[in-house]
Amino acid sequence: MPSRSTKKLETFPNPVRLRDYHIHMEIPEFTCLCPKTGQPDFATLILDYIPDKKCIELKSLKLYIWSFRDEGVFHEAVTNQILDDLVAALKPRYIRLIARFYVRGGIFTNVTAEHRKRGWAPQPAVFLNDFEEQSNVRK
């Protein structure tokens, strides 16, 4: 039986709640439809978050992302909707979603949305060598 898309995001308890740690995901197969033309829009989603009490379950995230395939929605709206849904499900310490839409009509669109839990502040970055610092600067 093939999997079906769903708007339900499942979570599991954060196994290391006492530490801030960074979870990074890249989702290269995001699609939705242009609300004006009905043509498909393609994007890579880059999700970074620091969990609090919950982490996202990956299969549910995949099925959730699939749920946008037949929806006509502007890039800005879908990026913020995904972020809002993730914040509601996870209540993370910090989360950022970057949607890098592929070229359409000669224009690339990148939309970045983020959320920070009230009162949470990141620890200062520690770079152990020049390569690590240079890699961070390029992002």
Per-residue pLDDT tens digits for 12-53: 999 999 999 999 999 999 999 999 999 999 999 999 999 999
Other Cβ atoms less than 10 A from the Cβ of 79: the count is 23
DSSP 8-state class, residue 29: E
Which residues does the annotation mark as catalytic?
34, 41
CATH 3.90.1150.10 fits 11-116, yes or no: no
Task: Give yes or no for residue 113 having a pLDDT over 60.
Answer: yes
Query: Residue 89: pLDDT band by 50, 70, 90 thresholds?
Result: very high
pTM score of the predicted model: 0.87
CA distance 47 to 111: 12
CA distance 136 to 131: 9
Please choose, from the candidates 3, 111, 126, 1, the residue with its C-alpha nearest in 3D space to the C-alpha of residue 59.
3
CA distance 94 to 115: 6
CA distance 54 to 34: 33
Distances in Å between the Cα of 103 and the Cα atoms of 19, 42, 66, 79, 107 are 39, 9, 20, 17, 5
Higher pLDDT: 109 or 123? It is 109
Higher pLDDT: 104 or 53? It is 53
Task: Give yes or no for residue 130 having a pLDDT over 90.
Answer: no
- pLDDT of res. 125: 80
